[in-house]
Amino acid sequence: MLKKNREWSARIQTESPGYLESVSRAQKPEILWVGCSDSRVGPDQLIGLPMGSVFVHRNIANLFATGDLNCLAVLEYAIDELKIPNIVVCGHYECGGIKAAMEHSGIQPVDLWLDQVRFVYQRHADTLNQLQPDKRANRLAELNVEAQVHNICRNTIVREAWRRGQKVNVIGVIYDIHDGLLKQLGIQYSSQEEWESGYS
Ligand SMILES: [Zn+2]
């Protein structure tokens, strides 16, 4: 790891002299990324934006848990301090967290965390139960993205920002792990009015 890091540092300082120094002075990210911790879905690789462009929050199954202090602190800092205009919730197909939520429950920390996915499942059980198991997990991953977008839009940090006229665009996308492409889900809200009409 350290060897790779030294190679990377040397390469970037040769190819782009002064770049690291300029980045070290401040960050001005355009995106708050809420994604899964899965090692295959890191945003730096997926969207190829330069350092300083993406403020990242990741956890198992890309949840925005309304009772989780970590989630709330990230959202507050992103909106109130960094004034990030775009929040992207990115789920992915073949998500181990989604599959685990469907397959078993329990009282271990991961099980308790994934209860939030089970709530999404229960809400959409009628349509999900008609699908084949592999398609069911992928559809649940999409529905879970939608649920997390609503959790973010429902939060007072976002609603206050909208009320005072700050630009906050909340978008849900899903990453297809088979072809490396991000797919839009038609979930996007940039005002309280838009969100309320979409939510109803
Ligand atoms: Zn995942």
Taking only the tens place, the pLDDT of each residue in 106-125 is: 889 999 999 999 999 999 99
Least confident range from 38-42, 45-49, 93-97, 186-190: namely 45-49
**Is residue 194 pLDDT above 70, yes or no?**
yes
For residue 148, what pLDDT band results from cuts at 50, 70 and 90? very high
Determine the distance separating the centroid of ligand 1 and the alpha carbon of 198, expressed in angstroms: 26
Instruction: State the distance from the centre of ligand 1 to the C-alpha of 180, rounded, in angstroms.
Output: 14
Judged against a pLDDT cut of 90, whether residue 38 lies above it is answered with yes
Residue 90's CB: how many other CB atoms inside 10 A? 23
E strand residue ranges, 13-146? 31-36, 54-59, 86-92
- At 50 the pLDDT is 86
Q: What is the mean pLDDT of the chain?
A: 95
pLDDT of residue 178: 94
Give me the pLDDT at residue 26, please: 87
Give buried/exposed letters for 155-182 (b at 16+ CB in 10 A, else e): beebeebbeeeeebebbbbbbeeeeeee
How close is the Cα of 39 to the center of ligand 1, in Å? 9
> What is the per-residue pLDDT across 59-102, written as a single tens digit (0 to 9) for each?
999 999 999 999 999 999 999 999 999 999 999 999 999 999 99
- State residue 198's pLDDT score: 83
What pTM value is reported for the model?
Answer: 0.94
What pLDDT sits at residue 200?
64
The residue ranking higher by pLDDT, 198 or 125, is: 125
Residue 46 alpha carbon to ligand 1 centre in Å: 14
| Å from CA of 174 to ligand 1 middle | 11
Categorize the per-residue pLDDT at 48 as very low, low, confident or very high, splitting at 50, 70 and 90. confident
Residue 49 sits at φ, ψ, to 5 deg, of: -85, 155
Highest mean pLDDT, choosing among 43-47, 69-73, 102-106: 69-73
Could you give the CA distance from residue 119 to residue 101 in angstroms, rounded to a whole number?
A: 10
Of 151, 141, 140, 142, the C-alpha closest to 68 is 151
Q: How far is the CA of 12 from the centre of ligand 1 (A)?
A: 31
Tell me which residues are annotated as active site. 36, 38, 40, 92, 95
Cβ pair 57, 27 in contact under 8 A:
no
Domain ranges (residues) in the chain: 26-199
Half-sphere exposure of 106 (CA within 13 A, CB side): 7
pLDDT score, position 5: 95
pLDDT score recorded for residue 165 = 98
Architecture in CATH for domain 26-199: 3-Layer(aba) Sandwich (3.40)
Which residues make Cβ contacts (< 8 Å) with residue 84, sequence separation at least 6? Answer: 29, 30, 31, 32, 55, 78, 168
